[in-house]
Structures are given as structure tokens and as C-alpha cells.
Structure 1
Amino acid sequence: MPLKLSLKPGERFVLNGAVVQNGDRRCSLVLQNKASVLREKDIMQQAEANSPARHVYFPVMMMYLDEAGAEKYYDEFLRRMTEFMNVIANPAVLQECVAISRSLMTKEYYKALMGCRKLIDYEDERLGRTASSS
């Protein structure tokens, strides 16, 4: 099934490891086959992995972007997810953690990444952070 990306002027995204930037007008791209695509807003630099949920997100993002080398990021994910789950009591969030782990086991890296976004949202909500302060 094709993936349609609608891009804002100047918006960047990663496509199979290459950073691509849109020109000065809105445009749409249609990807006809499977590719690793990550929009600029979902790309996290290692220095931005500065909270427990973000520590979980970063290795999952790396697995998604480097599927061939995913195993080298798995131990970091496992350690960070274990730390995160040890301090969470919310059953729904714990369920999301399990779902993320299952997605990784079936190599559904993008699905796991979007689950990690939910962990970040939960964490930000609990810490009183807004989108602009994170």
C-alpha cells in the first residue's frame, strides 16, 4: 500500500537513511514500496534523549532507521524499557510498554516508535511539560 507524504515548505525527513528536504512549496510524495521514513518532528538527536521515555524512544528510532543493524540497539532498548517499567504503576502505560516490546519482536519498528511517542506524551503530562518546553 503506497504511503503519501504531504510536506510543508522546507520540511525535512529521513528516507532510508538519507536526509531529504522539501523545496520552497508544499508538495506531496507517494512512496510505492516499503521504506523507512521519519519526519523531522519525529527525529530525535541523542542529546535530546534526556528523560526515561526518551531513553526508550531513541534506540527504537535507531532500529527503525537502521533495520539491518537493529540488533546493536536492542540491548539499550531493553535496559531502558526495564528501567521505565520499574517506576510506572499505570496499567495502561505498562500495557503500552508490552505492546512496544511485541512490535519490536515482530520487527514492526515504526509501530513501536509510535508507541514510544505515547510514553513521551504520558511522561510530559505527568511532569507538566508542554510540547514547546520538551
Structure 2
Amino acid sequence: MTALVLELKQGESMILNGAVIRFKTRTRLELNTQARFLFGRQIMREDEATTPARRVYYALQQAYIGPEDERPAAFAAARQVIEILRDAAQGAARAGWETLLARLADDAGFEALKQARMMVRAEAFSRA
């Protein structure tokens, strides 16, 4: 069995299967089973979801780490917002939203989060 090894710094947080874990000391963690997790800068607080792309990222984050029975509805709600943003976008932004929708259609939650992070960066770049 292949294990995933993570090193987290003192004070960093991790969300593991919906539970928030804060590390009091530098920690090396080994995950031996499949789990849904986010850590460090992957975690967005609700008050940081201040732009359309950030709101999508936050919605996907909550769907990804949320309770199993709530995940389908949360992903469906995020998908509706993404479709609206896609329809209003042009060029590279539209292609980015299309890619994000494809990740969701493939049920690739973590890959969708990665694409959403790219959309957040692109949005910040276009506003600068």
C-alpha cells in the first residue's frame, strides 16, 4: 500500500474528512488510506470568498470536505454557479470554467479544486 506523507508546520491547519486539525508542532503525517483532505494554503476561510472565482472555490471546498450525504447537493449548487460564470465569460476565462465543469462531470473533486485555484489566480491577474 502506498502512503501519502505530508509535512506540516507548527500552527498550520488541515481538514481531514471534514475535521479541522491544527498542528501545535511541526508534524510529519502519513496517510495510509484514501481520505479527502486539504491543508495550509489550500484552505479558504468563508470571509476570503470575496470574488466570483473565490466563491466558487469556497463552495467546492465545502462540497469536497463536507459530509458524504451533503456532497452531491453541494457540488450541484457549485455547478450551477460555474455554469452562470461560464456563460458570462469569454476567451480563456470561458475555457477555464469549461475545464472546471468537466472535472466536476468526472467526479474529480480535488482536480476541480485545483482548477478553481487556477481560476482564482487568473481572476486576480485580470483585476490587477
Helix, strand or coil: the match of 1:33? coil
Helix, strand or coil: the match of 2:33? coil
Identical positions, percent: 25
* 2:33 is the counterpart of 1:33: yes
Q: What do residues 24-59 of structure 1 show as CA deviations (whole Å, max 9, x unaligned)?
A: 3x2211111111111132222333222110121122
1:10 aligns to what?
Answer: 11
> In the alignment, is the contact (CA less than 8 A) between 2:18 and 2:67 conserved in 1?
no
Unaligned runs of 5+ residues in structure 1 are: 129-134
Q: Distance in 1 between matches of 2:115 and 2:108?
A: 11
Unaligned runs of 5+ residues in structure 2 are: none
2:119 aligns to what?
Answer: 119
* 2:14 is the counterpart of 1:21: no
State TM-score, norm by structure 1. 0.82
Q: Moved runs in structure 1, 4+ residues, more than 4 A?
A: none
> In the alignment, is the contact (CA less than 8 A) between 1:7 and 1:22 conserved in 2?
yes
Q: Distance in 2 between matches of 1:75 and 1:104?
A: 9
RMSD over aligned Cα atoms: 1.8
State TM-score, norm by structure 2. 0.86
2:106 aligns to what?
Answer: 106
2:89 aligns to what?
Answer: 88
Q: Distance in 2 between matches of 1:80 and 1:121?
A: 18
> In the alignment, is the contact (CA less than 8 A) between 2:36 and 2:65 conserved in 1?
yes
Cα distance change, pair 32–108 in 1 and its aligned pair in 2 (3 A): same
Q: What do residues 42-99 of structure 1 show as CA deviations (whole Å, max 9, x unaligned)?
A: 22233322211012112211121026121221342123212321332123x3333222
Q: Distance in 2 between matches of 1:31 and 1:121?
A: 29
Q: Distance in 2 between matches of 1:75 and 1:108?
A: 13
> In the alignment, is the contact (CA less than 8 A) between 2:5 and 2:29 conserved in 1?
yes
